[in-house]
Each structure stands twice: as structure tokens, then as C-alpha cells.
Structure 1
């Protein structure tokens, strides 16, 4: 994935270290850690409320130091690698703002942390992997642990894979803005290959694909190009975070009744569908029975 040279990045929504606001809500797990934690809980037992932050917390943030990057002025991201997070957020916000005729609000922050952090959805931990909290409209990422999870799940870390993950979490924000997230969360059908939970996750995958298709057409995007190799890495990341693949990686058998995010095939299908169409309107995973399984 190639970046434009000497870009000016708005860093106002990228935070290094620290915690989010306190409040209510349930964290929406991303394609990696959230699913792995949930599956381990289902296999091994445990309190899901504690694992995914289903209750309000008053616990102070406790984490290792996550230093802020100096990304002021014109930035060459290939030379200042920490600034890529700002590039991800700027590209995503710019596209989604253009896609809405009205009512768009960007995420409050892309929060990088290490260890644990306070969020409006409860205490966020590294082991949860990347997640979106609708209570404070913030995406939370432990970048080191995310790399470990990608490796653990059998894929290669790359900027394209990272941006797919952040794009997926931003997709949850879009579902939150449109009201689809609250409708899905109100459903009693929360597991299974055609559950509301799976449909919500596949919608986020589709939105990530739509974003990639459009940002490379934007001359002002910090993302200049996405190569075929990048696309292969994105598809491979989608495969790696499929429920069936994670169940197999966890030493269990494939049980579609426990799926919360969709199979590898389903996730690849919706990322590709979004990328090929470039149209958010094709991402209505709630009005079809063809989920690509």
C-alpha cells in the first residue's frame, strides 16, 4: 500500500495512551480479538460481561506508555511509521463524510493503548483485540497485540491488513450512525450463521471494502494506491478472522450455531462485494438470505 508524499494529517482524533469516557454500552468486537475472546469464553466458560465490557466501569486506565507521534506539518509516512494511524483515520473520515448527504459525525477518536484502558463500554484490554465502543464512538487498538493476533491466526501483518481492521471498526461506527447497530443489538438472535450479530459484522466488512474502493480514487486521500498484493493481504486477513477458522485455530470443531462474525468465506465475500461495488448501498446484509456462505 502506497502513501502520498508529504501529506498534512489532522491528528485531532488520534490519541496515544489514556482512557475513554465512562458510561454505558457494549463494545462491538472487531474481526480478531473480540471473536477470539468470545469463542474462548464459549468453549472454556467465563463471564462475558467482564470479557467484552458489558458494564460501566470506574476503573482507572492502567497501561504501558504509548508515546504520541509527531505528525505535524508535512509528513512522509514511510519515514515516520507511527503516523500511519493518522493516515488511516483521515482517509476513513474523509470518505465517509463524502458518502453521507447529512447526519454524519466522525468517530470521536482512534485510541491507541497498551494493557488496559477505560472506555464507555467498560474496561478495554489488549486481549480483546481492536474494538469499537458505541458509547463513546471510539475505536480502541493495542497495535502490538493486534500484530500478535494476526500472526497467531495465520496471516501476515501489513498496513493493508491493519487498515482493513480499522476500516471494519469504522464500519461499525457507520452502522451505529444509521441505527442498524441498535436494531441488531435488540435482536434475540445473537449467534448463528444468519444471526443479527453476524449480519452486523459482515456489514462492517462490506463497508471496509467500499472504503478501499473509494479512497484510492480520492486525490486528497493520504492512501495513494492499493496493489494486488495488498488486496490479497486484505482477503487473507478476512479469511483469518472467520469464526470457523478461529474455532479450528482454538482447537475446537466448527460449530456454526456459535458464530458471531461469520465464516471466512462469508467475510471474504462481503469485503469483495464492497470493494467491487464501491457503493455502501450494497452492504445491506439485513435484507438478504444470501450471506455468501
Structure 2
């Protein structure tokens, strides 16, 4: 999926802390060590780091971190051309496209839109939910309403987890985390904590809805316009690019992760849904006209979106 060359990008939209190791001090990773970090790297969940309460009315804080050498790198991210050639620029452009899409979509559902903070980092960073590291993988922290992404994860995603590092696969990861912010604004994100495990749990329904929201954005991305240039952010999606996104969703299905790790599948321990479910709900969103089609919490059969 390619950005139109003349699209204008604001490099300041994303806080680039690569090389800076910035963030707020005094916060620790909750829930236990390296095993947790490995799982988190596979699943992109909303509750990846523990600490603090979810308050969608409090402002994000990632913009308060000190400038780093990454800021100089992202200063080049000014057009769609740079977004097509650089992972960091692609992330920034994707976030701006998501901003414009959700700014129009969310008020139609009676909720005031407020964009999340987004931070690129390398190595480690302190957040409102604890300390994130490269091993944690991309995640969203509801406490500071910030999505955190170490772009080196894209390569690890392909080499270690069998995912795709194609452009739309990268955008899917960002759009999924952005989807958790939308759930936070809607008041739905807490469902993952009330019912945290099992094939039909609130956690699984929360993750599948974030996949659906990512698909909803992708389905409208080629018609979502950059307000500066007046042009659509993205060119139409090809079948091959959809395949990249579906490969990414498939690789982080609970059954795939469990089978890869132990050779056995235990649905009672699921927190994100199966590979087939994650692909199906992404496509449910992709083919939908509005976010109402992404109501996983009312779905009677998570294997059949819309049921």
C-alpha cells in the first residue's frame, strides 16, 4: 500500500525518541519478566504494561520527553515519497491518515474524537503503564493515551514470528494499536481486564475489535484525504497488500503462537483470538461502512463476524 507522493506529512505528529531512551522515570514493568515480554511481542495487546488507571480524559504525555537523535531522522518525513521509502516516515504518515479517518468516523457514533500520542523509540522507554522495551513489541498505554512502537520490531516480526514486513502489514500493526485508543475513548477497553482469558473472553473480543477497526481504516484509507494537499493519503490497496496484512494477523493468532511454542493449542488460555478469527475480523472491518460492524462484544459466534 503506497502513499501518494504529494501528500504532506508533519514529522512532529509523532514523538521520535529513537536513540533517546526517553520517557517518565519511576515506573516499572508489571506482571513478570522475560516470558511476559516474549508474549507481548507476539500479540500487541492493550494491557501490556500494568500501572495506573485508564482515564480517557487525561492528556497524553509522550510529547514531554526530551528530543533525541530520532527527531533529526524524522525531520525528513515531509511527503508521501518519504513515507514510501522509510519505515519511520511510513509510521508517521499512517498515524496522520488514521487521525483524519477517526476524526470523521468517531463523532458519528456520539463520541468526541481526541487523537492519541504516538512515540517511536529504540531500546527502552518509560510510559504511564511501566517501562517498555524492544522485546515488548508495539503497545498502547491507556493511562497516557500513547501508542509506542519500536520500528525494529518489523524485521523481528518477519524473522521470528513468520509475519510480513510489507507496508500494509506495518500499517496494520499501527492501526491495531490506534484501535485500542478508539476503544479507550468509547469506554470498551476495560472489557479486556474484566474478562481476561478464554476463547470468548472480553480480552479476545477486545483484540478482535481492534483488528476490525484496523480493517475499517484500511478499507477507507484510499479515500481519506490529506487536508493539506487535498489528495487521498493512500493509493488503492492491491490483493497482494491485503495478503500482507492478513499474514500479519494470522501470525499473531493465539493458536499459531501456542502451536509454535509448545505444539499444543489451548483455547482456554486465549487472550487475542485464533489466526482465522483475527483475519476474519480484519476483513469484516475492511468491507464495512462503519464501526458498528465491529461489535465483537455482541457477536454470538466470533468465527463468523456479524453473527
Answer yes or no: is the 8 Å Cα contact 2:168–2:245 preserved in 1: yes
In the alignment, which residue of structure 2 is the partner of 1:218? 224
In the alignment, which residue of structure 2 is the partner of 1:19? 22
What SS does the corresponding residue of 1:123 show, helix, strand or coil?
Answer: strand
- Superposed displacement of residue 12, structure 1: 2.8
Distance 1:167 1:74 in 2: 20
Distance 1:180 1:124 in 2: 23
Q: Calculate the TM-score normalised by the size of structure 1.
A: 0.83
In the alignment, which residue of structure 1 is the partner of 2:89? 83
Segments of 5+ residues of structure 1 without an aligned counterpart are: 28-32, 41-50
In the alignment, which residue of structure 1 is the partner of 2:266? 255
> Residue 49 of structure 2: which of 38, 50, 53 is its match?
53
Distance 1:22 1:196 in 2: 32
Answer yes or no: is the 8 Å Cα contact 1:199–1:286 preserved in 2: yes
Structure-2 change in CA distance of 1:210 and 1:39 (3 Å): closer
Segments of 5+ residues of structure 2 without an aligned counterpart are: 53-64, 227-231
The reply on whether 1:107 has 2:116 as its aligned counterpart is yes
Task: Map Cα deviations across residues 224-249 of structure 1 (whole Å, 9 max, x no partner).
Answer: 22111000111111111100101112
The reply on whether 1:170 has 2:178 as its aligned counterpart is yes
Distance 2:233 2:41 in 1: 36
- Superposed displacement of residue 145, structure 1: 2.5
In the alignment, which residue of structure 1 is the partner of 2:76? 71
- Superposed displacement of residue 182, structure 1: 2.2
Q: Calculate the TM-score normalised by the size of structure 2.
A: 0.79
Answer yes or no: is the 8 Å Cα contact 1:121–1:135 preserved in 2: yes
- Superposed displacement of residue 83, structure 1: 1.5
> Residue 153 of structure 2: which of 145, 165, 186 is its match?
145
Structure-2 change in CA distance of 1:34 and 1:89 (3 Å): farther
Let me know the Cα RMSD of the aligned residues: 2.8
Distance 1:92 1:135 in 2: 20
Distance 2:250 2:281 in 1: 11
Answer yes or no: is the 8 Å Cα contact 1:21–1:120 preserved in 2: yes
Aligned length: 269
Task: Map Cα deviations across residues 23-60 of structure 1 (whole Å, 9 max, x no partner).
Answer: 99999xxxxx97942599xxxxxxxxxx943136xxxx
In the alignment, which residue of structure 2 is the partner of 1:206? 212
What SS does the corresponding residue of 2:177 show, helix, strand or coil?
Answer: helix
